[in-house]
Amino acid sequence: MKKLALIGCGGIGAYHLEHFMRFTDLSLAGFCDVTVERAEGFVKKAGQGRAFSDYVEMYDKVKPDLVFICVPPACHGNIEFETIKRGIPFFVEKPIALDLDLAGEMAAQVEKHKIIAASGFQCRYDNINDAAKKYIAAGKVLTVQASRVGGIPEVPWWRNKFTSGGQLVEQTIHQMDMLRYLLGTEPDTVYSVAGRGWISQKECPGYYTDDLSTTLITFKNGVTATMMTGCYAKNGVCWESKMIFGARDSRMDYVLCGSVTVYTQGAKTAAKKGKSASVIKGDGVRDKDSEEHVEVTKSEVDFGLLCDRTFVDAAISGNAGKIRSPYGDAYKSVAFTLACNRSMETGLPVKVVY
Ligand SMILES: NC(=O)c1ccc[n+]([C@@H]2O[C@H](COP(=O)([O-])OP(=O)(O)OC[C@H]3O[C@@H](n4cnc5c(N)ncnc54)[C@H](O)[C@@H]3O)[C@@H](O)[C@H]2O)c1
């Protein structure tokens, strides 16, 4: 039986543990957290394994066959280099690092040593992506209008941009990653502006990050996009998460981990001869004669479970072919979002360079 280890027994670690407990072909051999009580809590929940506060000691004693690395964004580097040195396949949570040079060095080492490594972009495993990709493959999308608005996570490191990377890098990286994944192209240039001052120290002690940002993106295939995102929502009414893919004769609304809705012109309108099937008339009023055909695809799979299982299978078999978010690709999504941060800092458009 292959031995699995986990480093970082916090919120997302617990999410993965729920999945591991369904993988009866694995031994849950080691749990590590600098706060050892957390690792002990995981051992108790798993009903097996040993707790450690030092991952090197855990590697020496447990000799895991695969490892999940679930530490905060600013804690990457040494753990990965040690894991690569030992040739252990690893799954690491996004963002893989907050320093692009470090992320690039780790990605280069992974490639050089042919380590099977994946990142936690679980949304890539959702069944709705088949419908989305089919729509996009028709080649009609010219623009995307995207948003993600939520609240402030409880974890203390999140409130400081130095330790979290900021809201766009830490959270909206999921949407930015999906833009790359779905469009099948890479970002060329980003221009981001950020806003602060709405969330006070009184409301959130230690808060030092952007409340919101808006980004303009040009992609290499000519598609343009906007991303409006923030953590300012006080309640669910303000919550927002949608990516509207626009074409000249159709539209797709993509709700991350939720649904895909494709709107096309109805057959009745299309059949009308000698009449423009325009949706908007000259004065901006919607053409009442235009009939919509709506096709909805809902999320029906446990994409998080599938994501973890795909990595586990790859680590066991040595075949990484089914991993949808390989480490080197996750590096690109980090580069994409860090370019946005750079643009916020400089006030200038920034080329996304991998
Ligand atoms: N894929 C997703 O949807 C998703 C969701 C939530 C969080 N995340 C990501 O997961 C990562 C962790 O987030 P979280 O919410 O679980 O944070 P957390 O603070 O709840 O847990 C992180 C744990 O790592 C431990 N840790 C830090 N450095 C360590 C080290 N060197 N060795 C051992 N343990 C160490 C901390 O003590 C803590 O218990 C972040 O990068 C976050 O962006 C991903």
User: Quick count: other Cβ atoms within 10 Å of Cβ 347?
Assistant: 9
Q: Homologous superfamily of 127-299+337-346 in CATH?
A: Dihydrodipicolinate Reductase; domain 2 (3.30.360.10)
d(C-alpha 148, C-alpha 25), whole Å: 38
pLDDT over threshold 90, residue 270: no
d(C-alpha 311, C-alpha 308), whole Å: 5
Provide the residue ranges of all domains of the chain, joining segments of one domain with +. 2-123+303-324, 127-299+337-346
CA of 155 to the centre of ligand 1 (A): 9
Backbone torsions φ then ψ of 158, nearest 5 degrees: -70, -30
pLDDT over threshold 70, residue 203: yes
d(C-alpha 341, C-alpha 190), whole Å: 10
Which of 88-102, 284-298, 313-327 is the least confident region? Answer: 284-298
Q: Which pLDDT band holds residue 283 (cuts at 50, 70, 90)?
A: low
From atom 40 of ligand 1, which residue's Cα is the shortest distance away?
Answer: 72
For residue 244, give Cα distances in angstroms to 55, 138, 157, 227: 43, 16, 32, 10
| Sheet bearing 187-195, strands edge to edge | 292-298, 259-265, 250-255, 240-246, 143-149, 224-230, 212-219, 187-195, 350-351
Residue 8 near ligand 1, beta carbon < 6 Å: yes
Residues 6+ apart with CB under 8 A from 258: 128, 241, 298, 299
d(C-alpha 238, C-alpha 164), whole Å: 23
Residue 72 near ligand 1, beta carbon < 6 Å: yes
Residue 77 near ligand 1, beta carbon < 6 Å: no
> Does domain 2-123+303-324 match CATH 3.40.50.720?
yes
What's the alpha-carbon Rg for the chain, to the nearest Å? Answer: 22
Q: What angle do CA 141, 332, 255 make, to 5 degrees?
A: 45
**Mean pLDDT for the chain?**
94
DSSP string, 112-151: HTT--EEE--GGGG-THHHHHHHHHHTS---EEEEEEE--
From atom 1 of ligand 1, which residue's Cα is the shortest distance away?
Answer: 120
Residue 222 near ligand 1, beta carbon < 6 Å: no
The ligand 1 atom nearest the CA atom of 170: 43
The ligand 1 atom nearest the CA atom of 95: 41
CA of 205 to the centre of ligand 1 (A): 20
pLDDT of 272: 61
- Sign for the CA dihedral angle at 177, 182, 183, 186 comes to positive
Please give the distance of CA 350 from its chain centroid, rounded to a whole number: 21
pLDDT digits (tens, 9 = 90+) for 153-164: 999 999 999 999
Among 64, 67, 74, 53, residue whose Cα is nearest residue 13: 67
Residue 30 near ligand 1, beta carbon < 6 Å: no
CA of 71 to the centre of ligand 1 (A): 4
d(C-alpha 62, C-alpha 49), whole Å: 9
pLDDT digits (tens, 9 = 90+) for 39-89: 999 999 999 999 999 999 999 999 999 999 999 999 999 999 999 999 999
